[in-house]
A and B are shown apart, each in its own frame.
Chain A
Amino acid sequence: MLDRAGTLLRGELLERFRAGVDSPIAEDEFNRLALRVFDYQYERNRPYAAYCDRRDRTPASVTHWSQIPAVPTAAFKEVTLVCGKPEDAEAVFRTSGTTRGPERRGRHYVLDLTLYHGSLLPTFAAYVLPDGAELPILSLVPSAAEIPDSSLSHMISVVMDRLGSPKSGYFATVEAGLDIDRLHAALRTHEEAGTPVCIVGTSLAFVHWTDHLLAAGTRFSLAPGSRLMDTGGYKGAAREWSAAEMHERYRTLLGIGPVACVNEYGMTELFSQAYDVALRERVKSLGEAWAISPAGDDAAGVSPRVKRAPPWVRTTVVDPDTLEPVPPGAVGLLRHLDLANLGSVACVQTEDLGRALDDGGFELLGRVAGAAPRGCSIAMDLLLEAAHERRS
């Protein structure tokens, strides 16, 4: 629940969000909104205000949104970053656990779900369903009812509810994992009926599922117009998978071509998401005919995988060493200013490596968090676990 000033600001933001992802927010308007959001957060988010004070970046001194202090994602693990009382939150999303134990999970308090939904729905619709299709959305992720603190589950639940056909459903539970039999039965039904589907899940879930498909020799030839959305890295998998490798699997095992595979870039700490632009652009240029183009030969024009967030997010790239902005086109760490984060902190410093593109999109080059350090002293995770054992 936002306070009165927040509700007013939310109203303005929602109006902007409703104008859709194709309605650009001019620089001066974005600046005006961002500074108001900053002012709002500085007044209500005490740890963030202290962080800003230490940097001499306060509403009194900041005149451009690029000067607004960015909070590293690690901060969400240490402090409660919320513009108000945490107990007033309508939901709390948590980052996935690490070897460092549950108390180290980041927490993002959602004071107002309408703003979150107001951002995620038009963006998902624009990038995953740019043709306006109402498809069965088949989720490889357990439902929000089961894991209410997962922002991904929440997002999929909202999307399914608002944008999916009645044949949508969940094909995984926390207890049993992926329900392959049910999933395959549903897919066969849609395959035979010629109904296109939209499969959504974590990249890791897709790896495990396609491993199974390969081992079992199972193939699907899903109806034209079928698509999938994968998201997240490969932490916990035996190795990293390239987009090209996964696309090849999706094409041969499911009959979904690279253009129809939309990778989402999202994180617990941000209420808005970015997506691959390829499907949207294909639909824009070909209209409904996009789905009829054969799955196999549409890889051209897909790489590099350009991502774009809605216009109420501005992405900048900073030098990993100094955290100062890099020259245009240079590689560095991504920093996002997301106006949908009104109730927490808008400007978030990630550990993701990328490059900004001229048109406001960006290229994601990898997630650097958790990389093994050099040196002869290290067995990092084991050591962290050892250190943790003492606390618990």
Chain B
Amino acid sequence: MPFEIDAFHLPGLDPRDVDRWERRGYGDDVVLRFPVLDAGVWREVLRRLGTARERALAGRPVGDIVAAVDAAAARLADNDDPLRRTAESALPAITGYSLPMIRLTLDRMAADWRAPVLDRLLTCELGDPRVLDAFTAMPVPRSTVTRRVRALGPDLAFHIFAGNVPGVAVTAVVRALLVKAAVAGKLASGEPLLTVLFARALASVDSELGDCLALTYWPGGHEPLETVAFDAADAVIVYGGEEVVAAVRARTRTEQRLVVYGPRLSCGVIGADALTRGNGPALAYEVARAVAIFDQQGCVSPHVVYVERGGEISPAELARALAEAMAGIQETLPRGRISAAEAAAIHDARATAEFRALSGEPVELFASRDTAFTVIYEENAPFTVSCLNRVVRVVPVDAVDDVERELRPVARYLQTVGVAGVSGARLTSLAERLARAGASRITTFENVPWPPAEWHHDGGEPLRSLLRWVDLEYGD
């Protein structure tokens, strides 16, 4: 028997008043239940959200919000907490990720919602987080002018989520709460549950804050519900593919704030300095882990790793070492369940590589017997988007600076570049080139999967992008 979970958080909605339910099955084990809302009920939910925000959120010191979020995160970080246990038992079926992957993701994500990290994020972006609570003196650099400034978030931020990486949506909700916005969220069918569990955790530590979140799922394109949310919100935050983003952009009003997190991809660059016999296995392990986490489905996950020639070990040798490391990671952090279509895409990529190798092209294939991992070494290859689920290409380059040219075709999608074996002036020069090529984040392979809370997410400022600033041009 599958177990059924209510995957919505709609304060004030009595389940007994719901006439129709939508049930979505995930594998044989889990069924998620969502109310089928009509526009009137949804409008009423959002109206109550506004009232709750006025009462409990708009005037609350940001420090209090941080404390409440921290307490909610603590529940999700606690292995014995019932909410955490629900997450661990349901998320593997919902997302397809293996249990070790889910546990790792929950631990790392929840750590980002803890108080010290949130304080760092607030300080990093705002300088003085008190601007969220009151007019706060902010010196104007190199001037005697004094002014006080205040930062105001939206009243209601309508979020449209996508993807199946657990925690991405929670981070978005946390950001909105920090700027004191109520959140209406259309959850992603790929992973709707964790955000709801977070909302329940928040409500358990602070019921008034819990009343400021309304989260549920409906099938995309439900015009009446979407219209209600677009009408009510003064900010829209959208995660999704090109089509969704374009559709949302088209219906956003001019005075409405729109924040877009569109499709992204990532890659790696390894300089010859790191390619020593001694360092090879450790380096291969870090790269393999960056590919393996989220089964390569994250926007941070590398699709291609460019490896400089001229090191003690060759790019092809690194590809082999990478495959060995992937085999090891399969033992501790197994690849999740994939669909027949995804498996077929992997066989397709392998067959393509293998037959190119057989016809004498400089291509080598290193792969598991099943579809668990695939490393394709390929010379002179244009940037090739991976079919995901741990299929990575290793492409040799004469010099790391050549990578800029390789990345040009995907510049507008580029996000993270993992770098190893490049330091000092070479690193700064490479970073300049990668920045021009479209990258918004350059980091170590170890950190690739886990951007810090204060990162310039896709080149933007996650908190400031939600804020409106007010200057009071009188000193204290």
Contact = CB atoms under 8 A, between A and B. Distances in A.
Interface residues of B, number: 56
A177 B364 CA distance: 43
A376 B165 contact: yes
A100 to B, nearest CB: 10
A209 interface: no
A81 to B, nearest CB: 9
A321 B371 contact: yes
B239 interface: yes
A78 B298 contact: no
Contacts of B264: 376-377
B387 interface: yes
B245 to A, nearest CB: 9
A51 B342 contact: no
B297 A72 contact: no
Interface in A290-320: 320
A74 B351 contact: yes
Contacts of B341: 351, 368-369, 371
Specify the main secondary structure of chain A where it touches its partner. mixed
A303 B190 CA distance: 32
Contacts of B356: 78-79
B259 to A, nearest CB: 15
Contact of A384 (B96, B165, B352, B385): B385
A71 interface: yes
Nearest to B337: A321
Given A72-B347, A371-B341, A379 B409 contact: no
A139 to B, nearest CB: 31
A387 B381 CA distance: 10
B349, B385, B389, B410 pick with most chain A CB within 10 angstroms: B385
A75 B348 CA distance: 8
Contacts of A387: 382-385, 409-410
B343 interface: yes
A377 B352 contact: no
Interface in B145-197: 162-165, 168, 190
B369 A322 contact: yes
Contact of A371 (B165, B339, B408, B409): B339
Interface in A310-340: 320-323, 331-333
B392 interface: no
A214 interface: no
Contact of A368 (B96, B190, B344, B358): B344
A376 B299 contact: yes
Contacts of A349: 347
B374 interface: no
A321 B384 CA distance: 22
Nearest to A78: B355
A377 B359 contact: no
Contacts, number: 148
A364 interface: no
B39 to A, nearest CB: 25
Contacts of B358: 47, 50-51, 54, 79
A74 B413 contact: no
Contacts of B247: none
Interface in B220-250: 239, 241-242
A376 B351 contact: no
Given A387-B385, A390-B382, A390-B409, A373 B345 contact: yes
Contacts of A236: none
A351 B96 CA distance: 21
Given A74-B351, A387-B383, A379 B413 contact: yes
Given A47-B359, A75-B355, A368-B341, A375 B242 contact: no
Contacts of A368: 339-341, 344
B340 A353 contact: yes
A4 interface: no
A51 B299 contact: no
Contact of B387 (A47, A71, A353, A373): A373
B263 interface: yes
Interface in B312-371: 338-345, 347-352, 354-356, 358-359, 369-371
Contact of A377 (B297, B338, B382): B297
Contacts of A386: 409-410, 412-413
A383 B351 contact: no
A16 interface: no
A23 to B, nearest CB: 34
A327 to B, nearest CB: 16
A75 B352 CA distance: 6
A278 B352 CA distance: 37
Given A74-B348, A320-B344, A349-B347, A383 B410 contact: yes
A332 B347 CA distance: 14
B296 interface: yes
Nearest to A353: B340
A225 B65 CA distance: 74
Given A321-B371, A387-B383, A387-B385, A375 B347 contact: no
B355 A390 contact: no
21 contacts: A47-B358, A47-B359, A51-B355, A54-B354, A73-B348, A74-B352, A75-B351, A78-B355, A322-B370, A349-B347, A369-B344, A371-B339, A374-B342, A375-B294, A375-B388, A376-B239, A376-B264, A377-B265, A379-B241, A387-B410, A388-B382
Interface of B: 96, 162-165, 168, 190, 239, 241-242, 262-266, 294, 296-299, 301, 303, 338-345, 347-352, 354-356, 358-359, 369-371, 382-385, 387-389, 408-410, 412-413
4 nearest A-B pairs in the assembled complex, by CB-CB distance = A375-B297, A371-B341, A376-B163, A72-B351
